[in-house]
Amino acid sequence: MRLHRLTLRNVRGVEERTVELSPGPDGSATGSGGTGGGNTGVVIVEGLNEAGKSTLSDALDVLLTYKDSSKHADVRSLQSTGRDDPPEIEAELQIGEHRLTYAKRYLKRTGTTLSITAPRGEQLDGDAAHERVDGLLADHLDVALWSSLRLRQAEGLAQAAPGDTRGLATALSGLSDVSAIGDRELTILEQAQSTYERYFTARAGAPKPLLRDADAKVAELTEALDRIDERRATLAADVDRADRLTRALPDLRTQVTEAAARAAEHETRRAEVTALAQEVDRLRGAEEQTTTALERLQERRARRTALIEELAEVERAQQERATALATVVAAQDRAGERLASARSALDAAQHRQQATRQARERAQQDLDHLTRQERAAALRARAERATAALERRREAEATCAEVRVDEAVLGRLRQAQNEVTRTEAALDAASPRVRFTANRDVRLVVDGEPIDLVPGEDAAWTVRDALTLGIADLGEVDVRAGAGSEDATDAHRRASEQLRAALDRAGVADLAAAEQSLRRREDAERTITEAERERQTALDGEGADELDEELDRLERASERYLAGRDGDHPLPDSIAAAQAALETATAEERRADDAVVDPTTEVEAARDALERERASVIELTTTSNEAARRLTAIGAELAEARAVDADDELDREVAAAERARSEARTAVAAAETALADADPAAVNQLADNAAAVAEDARARLHAAEQDLRDTRVRITALGGDGLWEQREALATELAHATTEQRGLHRRANAARLLRDTLERHRGQARDRYAAPLREQLVAYGRMLHGPGFDVELDDDLRVARRELDGTWLEIAQLSVGAREQLALLGRLACATLLGDHGGVLLFDDALGNTDPDRLERIGAVLRTAGQHTQVIVLTSYPDRYRHVGGARRVSL
Amino acid sequence: MVRLVHTADWQLGMRRHFLTAGPQDRFSQDRLDAVAAIGRLADEVGAAGILVAGDVFDDNQVDRQTVLRAVDVLRGFPDIPVLLLPGNHDPLDAGSVFRRPEFLDACPPQVHVLTDSSPFELADGVEVVGAPWPVKRPVQNPALEVLADLGPTTGIRILLAHGGVDEVGGDFDQTGVLPLATLEAAVREQRVSYLALGDRHSATEVGTTGRIWYPGAPEPTAYVEEDPGRALVVELGPDRIEVERRQVGRWTFRQRVFDVGGSEDLAAVLRWLDEPADKPHTIAKLALRGTLSLADRARLEAALDDAATTYAALESWTRHEDLTTTPDQDDLDAMEVGGFVAEAVTELRELAAGSGEDAQTAGDALALLYRTVVGR
């Protein structure tokens, strides 16, 4: 495609502008050796920013893309600023061999006109015109690739990815003899891929639910079929079992009947033996009765004999007892006499014993009395001593109480005395001394006191305060102590007052009296100690009161004793006499005591003897009475028994009973023999066994019948389910599922194989035709960078790595400038290869980061590319492109 | 002189695994209709009785619904004795379908299940002796025991029996097989006037006496059957017999192996597929051996797809299938493929020319490509 002219009206800030884009005279001249003569070349459209360069590019896009009726944002973005008139775009284009003028008005009074002038004239308008141009574009170039090849300012670094678009592939396939990735082939691959994705996931190639579900359904149905077959097998086993049991039942019933018959036979025999045993029992009972009757008779006869014998014996014993009683009564009387004489002897001895005891007691009391009196005298002496000592002590204590001076008081008095002496000395020292020496006799009156002096005699005074000295009649001298003695005077006065007070408290006149008082007090205190010691000695550890009480008690006891004493006997005159009397009395008493022993013993013995004789009499009397009663009873019993049967009659009855028993014993023996001969143990065991056999047979029959019933119940339960048809239905479903699964897998495998094979060959093909693109890119690159330039392309035919003078770098490692150059070179290489199949290569100011030296070389590249395709560069910096030779320059 | 209808092997409740739900329902219903047709046939010919020689049901454990429908059809039968013989499919064991309440409760009075060999007096001087199968796998065919006990008769005696006959081909179960010699001896010795057999699904005259017959199944059940869909009308006198085969079924089974090498062979296949007039009641199975181009294969598959929708069932006879797909020049021209696709096609062609599963997959892949490109 070639763009010859573009006219805009009322588009954004442009009121009307026509840009001629056919290459200029330079282009024509230089392009003469190229492919397209004057129709190829480079156009540099220059203008300041916002001059409308981008508007040109956008307007061309809108014209070729949107119908005039479109309200798309791209369309609305073209709306004029400030004018109401709708945007109009008109382009003069060459598409293939078609030369045309194409114009559209958008948004208001919309319209499209198309005028084709070559190869044949054609006029269209409206949607028909739009569709005609669409068709021409689709026929001659790949719009998507064209769009991707455009390089805008904002995306200057991005490379085009021609590997994904078809235009390049189609173009390349025409240029080389390699099998190519044509439009049609890519469509086929897409369809194969989409078929493949029906069965497998696009990326991992994992089976999709369609396949998995089919597999799962087969597995599920197989399992269900197995389950139902198991139930069928169970049912079949039960059917077999029921048939087997049904066949077995008649035989089991026969066994039951036969066993029952045999058991009945054995029961009859058992009954016979039982009858024999009962007969034996009955006869044994009869024999027992005869034995009992005989024993009763024998008993009666024995009893009668015993009575007769007892009667004789008792009578004889009664006679013997009468004789013995007479003897015993006589002995009893003798024993009574012996006891009486023994008692009187004992009474005499006891009387004498009493008298001696009283005498001994009196002697003892006399001795006690005398001893008591002696003790009372001693006590009295001690009490008197104690009383005297107490008296002394009390006197001394009174003295002590009277004297107030002790060692401490005396010490304090002495101290006060010393203080008075000391202050006095100090006062004397401080006081003026007046000495008067008489030259003649003279009378002095000192403080009113007259003193007469003789010549040569002197008198002196210490003036404590003031001294009035009258000297005869001469006058009076008044002496006064100075101020310096006042303190000493005070101190002396205070000491004197304190001494006086202390003496008053001690109750003494002076210190000497105090010392005397102290000595008196010490004497009294010693007396107290001595008197107390004396008193304690007299009391000898007892209290004075106790002593008095004891004495009082002793005296009262003596008085009482004397008052009560028998006066027939004189009181001994001494303690010794009393002791002698006591010893004599005690000996007398002991002798009297001894004399009582023998008579006492004799009394006891006599009494015992009497008791014995008396007991014998009682015993004999009692026994005799009992025997008499017994005799009466025996007589009565005998009479009663004999009334029933006489003695000889009883003997005959006994004999008859003995015979009857003998006969019964014989019958029992015969029956027992008959029973033993029948062998009852064997008969019972046989009968028991037969019964057990019959029971076993019944049990087996019962079990079989029960089993059969149970089995039939199970058969009915399972058999009614229509298991066969269920199984067949499942098997059918499984067969269908398996067929479907197999078909699915077959189709899936085919789809995968087709897709994999196509994909592989597409890859190989792309690898092959990547070569021309790379060659072209390298050719341009070497124009820019010299022979050390090379590149590697990736699957999308973008530059992956670049080599420069032996150094390979990943695209991301390159500088911004290098990347923008590579992006430009890639597009130019692509467009170069596309040639007429390409569109217009529009660059929107693409080389902002390229240094001036490179710009010159790029100029050469652009010029070369321009010989194959139309290149329009929109720039605000025309200077960047001054190195492009033969370019048409359009200034906006 | 007595006239009877002899049938067997109804096998009600049977399912065919190659049938999908719709055709299976049709098949089941038509098989019941065929039984009903037998009742009408008996009415039409004035038969004295209907003898069913075993396998009334496909199994003792058929659905209750199947039993009820069968009984319902039996209730529509004319009022003449209908004798049912338990066969190897529905033996008289503890689980017998004939003992199930749904059968016993609704079964019309003129229908009799032969549970032992006591003679059934069908008409004056005409007795039927049955040899019911007591279990699925007896030690020997119960008919042999029955025959051993039968002496010569002056009347007409029919033995109703079930099982294969040793001299008659067919892949029947060898359990309870009947020796032809024994059967013919019984006929010759006038112990039996007519042997009404069941088991073989093809209507067949057995031996040379003219008195031993299989009626076949009333509707076909398998491809191998030779003359199915029949019931026999038997006219029997003391010294004469006449047996007539009457059509009662409407279904057809057909199978074929085709050798194909080109479009003409394919045309034969397509004609064969188109032949049947009543495809919804036809079940077909075919196998193709040989090589087809992509175009032919596409035509074949389209035809098979069409047939699969009209036929009751269309099976691929995989045992005999051996078909290679190879694109010819016309295929390639038609596909107009170039570039890498052409290279891929070359590779797949080589793969498809080989053998085994990979070759088949490659053929399938080519066919898929062909459909994708040419649009079938």
Q: What SS3 state is found at A665? A: helix
A564 Cα distance to chain centroid: 101
**Which of B88, B92, B115, B340 would best serve as a mutation to test chain A binding (most A beta carbons within 10 A)?**
B340
| Residue pair B352/A773 in contact by the 8 Å Cβ criterion | no
8 Å CB contact of B94 and A239: yes
Give DSSP secondary structure letters for B135-157.
SSS-SS-HHHHHHHH----SSEE
Per-residue model confidence (pLDDT) at position A32: 33
pLDDT digits (tens, 9 = 90+) for B265-308: 889 999 999 999 999 999 999 998 888 888 888 888 888 989 98
Q: Mark yes or no for CB contact B94/A179 under 8 Å.
A: no
**CB-based contact (8 Å) between B362 and chain A?**
yes
Cα–Cα distance for residue pair A798/A161, rounded to 1 Å: 6
Quote the pLDDT of residue B29. 93
Work out the average pLDDT over A243-256: 91
Inter-chain CB proximity A725 and B13 less than 8 Å: yes
Average pLDDT of span B140-147? 92
State whether B339 and A181 contact (CB < 8 Å): yes
> Mean pLDDT over all residues of chain A?
83
When pLDDT is cut at 50, 70 and 90, the band that residue A36 belongs to is very low
Q: What is the average per-residue pLDDT within A777-793?
A: 87
Q: Which residues of B touch A174 (CB under 8 A)?
A: none
Q: What residues 189-248 of chain A have any CB closer than 8 A to a CB of chain B?
A: 189, 191-192, 195, 232, 235-236, 238-243, 246
Instruction: Please determine, for residue A248, whether its predicted confidence score (pLDDT) is greater than 50.
Output: yes
Instruction: Inform me whether the pLDDT recorded for B129 exceeds 90.
Output: yes
Residue B344, chain A, CB below 8 Å: the answer is: yes
- State the pLDDT at residue A29: 33
CB contact under 8 A, A732 and B365: no
Optimal mutation site among A742, A753, A764, interface B, most CBs of chain B within 10 A = A753
Among candidates A195, A232, A761 on the partner chain, residue whose Cβ is nearest the Cβ of B340: A761
Structure tokens at A460: 């002196």
In this model, does residue A173 exceed pLDDT 70?
no
Query: Does domain B2-247 sit in CATH 3.60.21.10?
Result: yes
Distance to chain B for A837, nearest Cα, Å: 19
Closest B-chain CA to A182: B339
What sign does the dihedral A771-A776-A781-A786 (CA atoms) show? positive
* List of residues 6+ apart from A322 with CB closer than 8 A: A624
Enumerate the β-bridge partners of residue A2: A94
CB contact under 8 A, A238 and B95: yes
> Inter-chain contact A715–B94, Cβ cutoff 8 Å?
yes
Chain segment A291-303, per-residue pLDDT in tens: 999 899 889 889 8
At A49, the pLDDT band (50, 70, 90 cuts) reads low
Pairing of strands A111-118, A98-105: antiparallel
Beta-bridge partners for B285: B255, B315
Q: What is the pLDDT of residue A34?
A: 34
SS3 state at B231: strand
Give me the sign of the Cα torsion angle A23, A28, A32, A38: positive
B23: chain A residues, CB-CB within 8 Å: none
Higher pLDDT, A140 or A357: A357
pLDDT of residue B247: 94
Cβ pair A438, A458 in contact under 8 A:
yes
The DSSP result for B37-100, as a single string, is HHHHHHHHHT-SEEEE-S-SBS-TT--HHHHHHHHHHHHTS-SS-EEE---SSS-SSTT-GGGS
State whether B341 and A188 contact (CB < 8 Å).
yes
d(Cα A167, Cα A838) in Å, to the nearest integer?
8
Candidates A181, A719, A750; nearest CB to B95: A719
H or E element in which residue B357 lies: helix B356-374
Amino acid at A883: H
> For residue range B32-61, what is the model confidence (pLDDT) as tens digits?
999 999 999 999 999 999 999 999 999 999
pLDDT greater than 50 at residue A27: no
Do B340 and A243 count as a contact with CB atoms less than 8 A apart?
Answer: no
Give how far A216 is from chain B: nearest CA, Å: 20
Give the residue extent of every domain in chain A.
407-506
Chain A CB within 8 Å of residue B17 CB: yes
Say how many C-beta atoms besides its own lie within 10 A of residue A487's C-beta: 12
- pLDDT digit string, tens, across residues A102-120: 999 998 889 999 999 888 8
Q: Does the CB of B369 have a partner CB in chain A at under 8 Å?
A: yes
Please answer whether residues B6 and B236 qualify as being in contact, where contact means their C-beta atoms are separated by less than 8 angstroms.
no
For CA atoms A722, A725, A728, A729, the dihedral sign is: negative
End-to-end CA separation in angstroms for chain A: 23
Residue A37 has pLDDT above 50, yes or no: no
Among B residues 247-276, those touching chain A with beta carbons less than 8 Å apart: none
Given pLDDT bands bounded at 50, 70 and 90, which one contains residue B173?
low
Query: Would the pLDDT of A156 be above 60?
Result: no
Looking at A195-341, which runs of residues are DSSP E strands? none
Residues A601-619 have pLDDT tens digits of 988 988 898 898 889 889 8
Percentage with pLDDT > 90 across chain A: 15
Interface test with A, best of B11, B61, B371 (most A CBs within 10 A): B61
pLDDT at A101 over 90: yes
Residue-wise pLDDT for A370-393, tens only, equals: 888 888 888 888 888 888 888 888
Q: Write the pLDDT tens digit of every residue in B305-363.
A: 899 899 999 988 877 778 888 888 788 777 777 777 888 888 898 888 888 888 889 98
Q: What is the pLDDT of residue A150?
A: 56
pLDDT of residue A734: 92
Confidence at residue A176, expressed as pLDDT on a 0 to 100 scale: 41
Q: Is B180 exposed, middle or buried (0-12, 13-18, 19+ CB in 10 A)?
A: middle
Q: Which of A432, A425, A423 is nearest to A490 (CA)?
A: A423
Rounded Cα distance between A466 and A432, Å, is 10
A188 at B interface, C-beta within 8 A: yes
Q: Are A64 and A864 in contact (CB under 8 A)?
A: no
The Cα of A44 is separated from the nearest Cα of chain B by a number of Å equal to 39
**How does residue A437 score in pLDDT terms, banded at 50, 70 and 90?**
confident
Report the C-alpha gap between A799 and A803 in whole angstroms.
Answer: 11
Chain B: give the shortest CA distance to residue A759, in Å: 9
B222-269 tens-digit pLDDT: 998 888 999 999 999 878 899 999 999 999 999 999 998 888 888 999
A274: DSSP letter: H
If you compute the radius of gyration of chain B from its CA atoms, what whole number of angstroms results? Answer: 26
**pLDDT, position A26:** 41
pLDDT in tens, A448-490: 888 888 888 888 887 777 888 888 788 888 888 776 677 788 8
Type of residue numbered A615: A
**Which residue blocks in A540-646 are alpha helix, DSSP H?**
544-564, 575-644
What pLDDT was estimated at residue A178?
38
Query: Which chain A residues are Cβ-neighbours of B347 within 8 angstroms?
Result: 757, 761
Span A63-76, average pLDDT = 87
A90 band by pLDDT with thresholds 50, 70 and 90: very high
pLDDT in tens, A177-194: 334 566 677 788 888 999
Query: Which residue in B has a C-alpha nearest to residue A768's C-alpha?
Result: B340
Instruction: Note the pLDDT tens digit of each residue in A801-860.
Output: 888 888 888 888 888 878 878 888 887 887 787 776 666 777 777 676 777 777 888 888
- What pLDDT does A791 receive? 87
The mean pLDDT of chain B is 89
Query: Rounded to the nearest 5°, which phi and psi values hold at A200?
Result: -130, 155
How confident is the model over A643-690, as pLDDT tens digits? 888 888 888 888 888 888 888 889 888 889 988 888 888 999 999 999
> Residue A294: exposed, middle, or buried by beta-carbon count in 10 A (0-12, 13-18, 19+)?
buried
> Residue B159: which pLDDT band, with cuts at 50, 70 and 90?
very high
Contact B364 A239 (CB under 8 A): no
Calpha distance A14→A79 (Å, rounded): 10
Structural contact between residues B86 and B80, judged by C-beta atoms closer than 8 angstroms:
no
For residue A227, name the pLDDT band (cuts at 50, 70, 90).
Answer: very high
Residue A746 to residue A757: CA distance in whole angstroms: 16
| Across A117-137, average pLDDT | 87
Domain boundaries, chain B: 2-247, 252-374
| Band of residue A172 on the pLDDT scale cut at 50, 70, 90 | low
Enumerate the residues of chain A whose CB falls inside 8 A of the CB of residue B100. Answer: 719-720
Name the minimum distance, in Å, from the CA of A224 to any CA of chain B: 16
Distances (CA, A) of A633 to A307, A629, A630, A637: 10, 6, 5, 6
Asked whether residue A217 carries a pLDDT value surpassing 90, the answer given is yes
Quote the minimal CA–CA distance from B360 to chain A in Å. 9
Q: What angle do CA A732, A738, A743 make, to 5 degrees?
A: 130
CA B86 vs CA A246, B11, B127: distances in Å: 18, 11, 18
Whether residue A318 contacts residue A624, with contact meaning beta carbons closer than 8 Å, is answered with yes
Number of alpha carbons in the 13 Å side-chain half-sphere of residue B313: 30
Give dist(CA A664, CA A289) in Å, integer: 9
Residues A870/A41, Cβ–Cβ less than 8 Å = yes
pLDDT given for residue A153 in this prediction: 45
Which residues between 110 and 149 in chain B have a beta carbon less than 8 angstroms from any beta carbon of chain A? 134-135
pLDDT of residue A709: 92
The pLDDT of residue A872: 85
Residue A777, pLDDT above cutoff 70: yes
CB B27 within 8 A of CB B251: yes
CA atoms of B6 and B50, how far apart (whole Å): 6
Would you give the DSSP letter of residue B223?
T
Nearest to A188 among B20, B63, B372 (CB): B372
CA dist A679 and A675 (Å) reads 7
The mean pLDDT of A337-346, rounded to a whole number, is 85
Over residues A509-546, the pLDDT tens digits come to 888 888 888 888 888 888 889 888 888 888 888 888 88
3-state helix, strand, coil in chain A (%, to 5): 70, 15, 15
Please identify which residue in the block is written with the tokens 């010569």.
Answer: B152
- Surface of B (74-103) touching A: CB under 8 A: 93-95, 100, 102
Are B348 and A757 a contacting pair at CB < 8 A? yes
Q: What is the token pair recorded at A657?
A: 């009973």
Extract long-range pairs of A656-665: CB within 8 Å, 24+ residues apart.
A657/A290, A657/A293, A657/A294, A657/A297, A658/A294, A660/A290, A660/A293, A660/A294, A661/A287, A661/A290, A661/A291, A661/A293, A661/A294, A663/A290, A664/A283, A664/A286, A664/A287, A664/A289, A664/A290, A664/A291, A665/A287
Residue A583 has pLDDT above 80, yes or no: yes
Q: Do the Cβ atoms of A120 and A112 come closer than 8 Å?
A: no
Instruction: Give the number of other Cβ atoms within 10 Å of residue B133's Cβ.
Output: 27
Nearest to B308 by CA among B283, B275, B276, B277: B283
DSSP assignments along B298-353, one per residue: HHHHHHHHHHHHHSSEEEE-TTT-EEEE---HHHHHHHT--HHHHHHHHHHHHHHT
Query: Which amino acid, A620?
Result: L
Q: From CA A197, how far away is CA A832, in angstroms rounded?
A: 37
pLDDT at A315: 87
Partner A contacted by B319 (CB < 8 A): no
Average pLDDT over residues A616-635: 89
Q: By the CB < 8 Å criterion, does A751 face chain B? A: yes
